[in-house]
Amino acid sequence: MGRYVVRRVLQGILTLFLAVLLLHLLTTLAIQVNGNPARAFFGDHLPSAAQLAAVEKRYGLDDPCFDQTGNPCVKPFVHRLGDYFRGDFGTDLHDRSVTDIVSTAAPNTLRLFLVVTVTWFVVGMLLGSVAARYRGKVTDGGIRGLSILIDALPVFVIMLVWKYIVTVPVYTHLRDSLGSESFWAILFKPSFDRTHPWATVIMPGVLLGLAGSASFIRLVRAAQLENYGADHVRTARAKGLAERHVIIHHIVRNSAIPVVTAVGFVFTDALGGAVVTEGVMNIYGMGGTLWRAVQTNDVGVIMGVVTLLTVLTVTVMLLVDLLYAALDPRIRFD
C-alpha cells in the first residue's frame, strides 16, 4: 500500500509537471503569434517603448524568446517553476497577487461545487438505480432517453438559455411581486450577488450538476445490472432477504467501484463546466476568474489558476484511487 501511494504521488507530480509545461508552451506560442500581452496593461492608450519595456520586465515578458515564433522559452519556464515551488503564482495586470485572487474566488467555486456534487450524485444514483431496477421497461427507456438528451445539450447553451430566456422574465416578475430581497427572487437572479453567495449559486449549480449527471446515470445503471444477476445476489434472495436489503447491501454497494471512478471524471467535467458557468453567470469564482483572464489576455492569472486547478484535479484522482481499497477488500496494491 505504501509503495502504491508513493508511486501514485510521483505520477501525480509528473502529470502536474507535464500540464504546466503544456500550458507554458501554448501560452508562449500565443504570445509569439498574437503579440506581447503587456500591451493589454495600457488599454486603448498607446505606450511608449520605455513604458512597454518596463511593463514587460515587471511581468516577466521581456525575454527575447517571446519574439521568436516556435521558441519554447525554457528559461522563463524554469523561472516560473521556481516561483511555483516557493508558493508564488505571480500577479495579474493590476499587480494583485494571484494567490490573493484565488483565496477570494475559491469559496464561491466551492459553494458551486457543493451544489453540483449533491445534484449529480443524487440524480445519478436515483435515476441510475431506478433504470437498472426496471430494466427493459418504459421507465428504463425514459431515463436513458433523458440522459441522452442531457448529453446532447452543451453546458454553455443550457446556461445561456437559462440566463437570458428563463431567469430574466422570472426574476423580473418575482422582484415586482415579492420584492428584490425575497429568497425566490434572489434564487432566480440572472447574475451572481456577493451579498447572497449561496442563494445565487443554487440554480447554476443544479443545472451544471444535471448536465454532468447524464453519463453518471448510465454508468450506475450498467454497474448495477452486472450485479443483479450475480451469484451473491441470487444467494441473498434465496435466503429470503428483503428486496430493499438486497438492492442496498448487495447491489448498490458492490457497484461502488465504477461509481467512485466516475467521481474523478465528473469532477474534471465540473471544473471545465464551472469556467463556462461562472463566466456566463458572472460568479466570482476560480472559473470566472479564468474566464476574465482569458478575455483580457492576463497570462499570469491564466497560468496560476490553471496550475492550481491541475493540483486540485490530481489530488482528487489520487484520493479516488485510494478509495478503491476501502470499498473493495479484494483489491490489493502491489
Q: What are the structural domains, with CATH classification, of the chain?
A: 2-85 (no CATH), 105-296 (1.10.3720.10)
**Its pTM surpasses 0.85:** no
If you average pLDDT over residues 258-265, what whole number do you get?
68
What band does 138 get if pLDDT is binned at 50, 70 and 90? Answer: very high
pLDDT at res. 142:
93
19 vs 320, residue with greater confidence: 19
pLDDT at res. 306:
82
Asked if residues 219 and 130 have their Cβ atoms less than 8 Å apart, the reply is no
224 vs 39, residue with greater confidence: 224
Asked if residues 115 and 198 have their Cβ atoms less than 8 Å apart, the reply is no
pLDDT at 262 over 80: no
Minimum mean pLDDT among 108-117, 183-192, 266-275: which range? 266-275
pLDDT at res. 1:
61
* Non-local CB neighbours of 260 within 8 Å, separated by 6+ positions: 320, 323, 324, 327
The residues facing 91 across adjacent strands are 97
Which residue reads 497577487 in cell numbers? 97
Element (H, E) at 309: helix 299-327
Compute the distance between CA of residue 282 and CA of residue 100 in angstroms, rounded to an integer: 19
pLDDT at 332 over 80: no
Per-residue CA distances from 253 to 126, 216, 227, 230, 266 (Å): 14, 16, 10, 13, 20
pLDDT at res. 255:
72
pLDDT at res. 139:
92
pLDDT at 325 over 70: no
If you average pLDDT over residues 261-276, what whole number do you get?
66
What band does 322 get if pLDDT is binned at 50, 70 and 90? Answer: confident
pLDDT at 185 over 60: yes
What band does 264 get if pLDDT is binned at 50, 70 and 90? Answer: low
Q: Among residues of the chain, what percentage have pLDDT more than 90?
A: 3
Q: What's 167's DSSP letter?
A: I
What band does 54 get if pLDDT is binned at 50, 70 and 90? Answer: confident
SS3 readout for 223-284? HHHHHHCCHHHHHHHHCCCCHHHHHHHHHHHHHHHHHHHHHHHHHHHHHHHHHHHHHHCCCC
In sequence order, which ranges of 35-182 are alpha helices (DSSP H)?
49-58, 74-85, 98-133, 138-152, 155-161, 168-178
| C-alpha radius of gyration, the chain, whole number | 24
For the chain, the average pLDDT equals 80
The residues facing 97 across adjacent strands are 91
* Non-local CB neighbours of 286 within 8 Å, separated by 6+ positions: 102, 105, 106, 109, 274, 278, 305, 308, 309
